[in-house]
């Protein structure tokens, strides 16, 4: 506890000068050194100084412990993914900024608010706390700086800046103040998104082992879900299915409907890959139902995108058109440009508007995804463009686009 910092804040807040507080106790220079942390102070002197401000060391210590306990409880709920309980702490803490500032806990305060917003996908609020912490980075101690670097890596990962995210997360490998299981978990996601699936598997398994040791049951299911997704990318569909089914059956035990929805969604993708289309639609519609019940619009959009691709690929024009309209509406509402563009492409495809589709791909979709450096989406667009029926594209243009596609592949 930084008594000098607390003393200074309380003195300034109550409108006392250094002369008024130090009079009869110590010199102004001595008080200044105490307040700025340049001089150790004995308990008797400290008690006399606080009494000038109508405070006691006991009351200061009690308040400090109270504030610290709230932060510890908040962090525990975040780490255990109990976001309904964490939300209550978040609301409470938003009214207590001055308390944490006055007791020298403001960096811990902002770090936890930043962490909560990242873990709950509240990007706008996360950006606000990130800016505050970035501005004061030089004043953070080693422990606070390590936590900030780790959270910055997660933020970069969530905004799909994969190279920068991996670079930032690698810095955290030897950090002692961050949760090691969470480090491996997010490092696995970064590797998976970058298509380094071997590294992703290794990190996800390590995260799972540590979560099991700490008996963090919700995070165990998160790690299982992640392992299933990695195995699905490796086309090991049978093993992936087992992981998703485990999450599905155990999610009710820990009260995690968002995990149940995610398990249904990924089982739908597994069934689609196995060409079990009716089962795929069943699982995806189940996931959509759960996501609607918990108000998760982002994952509702993901469900609809999968259903849209299934209906489009099986030439079910009526059903596909209905889903496309819903995707366009929801992606516009969520400002999700990637999904909006893909839905537009499907709309042109299903309605066989090939000339419009060709122009849209060349003038808008491909330039946008190239700017975003989204490799998978670029390949997706080029494959559609090069396989358009009755295309009037010149051979020279076709050859040039084929070469571009091969470079990306």
pLDDT tens digits along 282-315:
999 999 999 999 899 999 999 999 999 999 887 7
- Is the pLDDT assigned to residue 409 strictly greater than 70? no
Give the start-to-end residue ranges of the domains of the chain: 11-55, 60-139, 296-351, 364-409
Percentage of the residues of the chain whose pLDDT score is greater than 70: 99
Residue 236 region, left (φ>0) first, then alpha (ψ -120 to 50), else beta? beta
Residue (of 203, 286, 187, 279) closest to 241 by Cα position: 279
Measured at the CA of 90, the angle between CA 260 and CA 162, to 5 degrees, comes to 60
Rounded distance between C-alpha atoms, residue 240 and residue 225, angstroms: 9
Rounded distance between C-alpha atoms, residue 247 and residue 220, angstroms: 9
CB 208 within 8 A of CB 216: no
CB 219 within 8 A of CB 211: yes
Residue 367: both structure tokens together: 């330039």
pLDDT tens column, 145-170: 999 999 999 999 998 889 999 999 99
Residue (of 79, 76, 66) closest to 118 by Cα position: 79
Report the chain's mean pLDDT, rounded to a whole number.
Answer: 91
DSSP string, 285-352: HHHHHHHHHTT-HHHHHHHHHHHHHHHHHTT-HHHHHHHHHHHHHHHHHTT-HHHHHHHHHHHHHHTT
Rounded distance between C-alpha atoms, residue 32 and residue 249, angstroms: 62
DSSP string, 140-164: --HHHHHHHHHHHHHHHHHTT-HHH
Cα atoms in the Cβ-side hemisphere of radius 13 Å centred on 230: 25
pLDDT of residue 46: 83
Secondary-structure breakdown of the chain: helix, strand, coil percentages, each rounded to the nearest 5 = 80, 0, 20
Mean pLDDT of 53-60: 84
Residues 6+ away with beta carbon under 8 Å from 310: 272, 277, 280, 281, 284
Rounded distance between C-alpha atoms, residue 302 and residue 319, angstroms: 17
Residues 6+ away with beta carbon under 8 Å from 363: none
- Between 37 and 174, the more confident residue is 174
Residue 394 region, left (φ>0) first, then alpha (ψ -120 to 50), else beta? beta
Residue whose structure tokens are 């009351």: 59
pLDDT of residue 262: 96
pLDDT of residue 178: 93
CB 113 within 8 A of CB 128: no
Residue 306: both structure tokens together: 């999968």
CB 274 within 8 A of CB 237: yes
pTM of the model: 0.83
Rounded distance between C-alpha atoms, residue 18 and residue 226, angstroms: 57
- For the ranges 29-43, 183-197, 199-213, 350-364, the lowest mean pLDDT is seen at 29-43
- Between 60 and 164, the more confident residue is 164
Mean pLDDT of 71-90: 92
CB 332 within 8 A of CB 340: yes
pLDDT tens column, 3-35: 888 888 888 888 889 888 888 888 888 888 888
| Dihedral of the alpha carbons of 225, 230, 235, 237, in degrees to the nearest 10 | -20
Q: Say how many C-beta atoms besides its own lie within 10 A of residue 355's C-beta.
A: 12
pLDDT tens column, 107-137: 999 999 999 999 988 888 999 999 999 999 9
Rounded distance between C-alpha atoms, residue 289 and residue 261, angstroms: 8
Rounded distance between C-alpha atoms, residue 361 and residue 365, angstroms: 5
- Is the pLDDT assigned to residue 394 strictly greater than 80? no
Residue 290: both structure tokens together: 């759960």
């Amino acid at each position: 506890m930084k008594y000098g910092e607390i003393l200074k804040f309380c003195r300034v807040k109550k409108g006392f000068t250094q002369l008024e507080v130090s009079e009869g106790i110590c010199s102004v220079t001595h008080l200044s050194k105490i307040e700025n942390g340049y001089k150790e102070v004995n308990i008797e002197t400290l008690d006399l100084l606080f009494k000038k401000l109508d405070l006691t060391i006991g009351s200061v210590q009690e308040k400090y412990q109270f504030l610290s306990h709230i932060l510890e409880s908040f962090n525990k709920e975040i780490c255990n993914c109990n976001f309904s309980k964490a939300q209550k702490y978040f609301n409470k803490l938003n009214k207590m900024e001055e308390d944490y500032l006055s007791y020298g806990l403001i960096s811990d305060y902002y770090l936890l608010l930043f962490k909560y917003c990242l873990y709950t996908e509240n990007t706008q609020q996360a950006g606000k706390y990130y800016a505050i912490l970035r501005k004061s980075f030089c004043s953070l101690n080693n422990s606070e700086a390590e936590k900030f670097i780790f959270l910055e890596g997660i933020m970069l990962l969530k905004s799909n800046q994969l190279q920068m995210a991996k670079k930032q997360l690698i810095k955290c490998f030897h950090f002692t103040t961050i949760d090691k299981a969470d480090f491996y978990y997010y490092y696995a996601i970064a590797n998976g998104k970058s298509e380094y699936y071997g590294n992703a598997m290794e990190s996800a398994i390590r995260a799972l082992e540590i979560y099991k040791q700490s008996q963090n049951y919700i995070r165990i299911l998160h790690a299982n879900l992640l392992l299933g997704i990695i195995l699905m990318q490796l086309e090991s569909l049978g093993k992936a299915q087992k992981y998703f089914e485990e999450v599905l059956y155990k999610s009710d035990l820990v009260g995690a409907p968002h995990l149940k929805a995610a398990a249904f969604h990924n089982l739908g993708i597994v069934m689609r890959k196995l060409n079990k289309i009716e089962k795929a639609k069943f699982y995806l519609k189940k996931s959509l139902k759960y996501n609607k019940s918990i108000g998760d619009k982002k994952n509702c959009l993901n469900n609809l995108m999968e259903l849209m691709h299934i209906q489009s690929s099986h030439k079910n024009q009526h059903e596909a058109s209905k889903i496309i309209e819903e995707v366009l509406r929801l992606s516009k509402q969520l400002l999700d440009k990637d999904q909006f563009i893909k839905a537009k492409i499907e709309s042109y495809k299903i309605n066989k508007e090939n000339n419009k589709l060709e122009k849209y791909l060349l003038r808008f979709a491909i330039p946008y995804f190239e700017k975003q450096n989204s490799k998978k989406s670029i390949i997706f667009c080029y494959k559609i463009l090069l396989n358009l029926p009755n295309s009037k594209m010149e051979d020279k243009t076709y050859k040039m686009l084929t070469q571009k596609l091969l470079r990306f592949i």
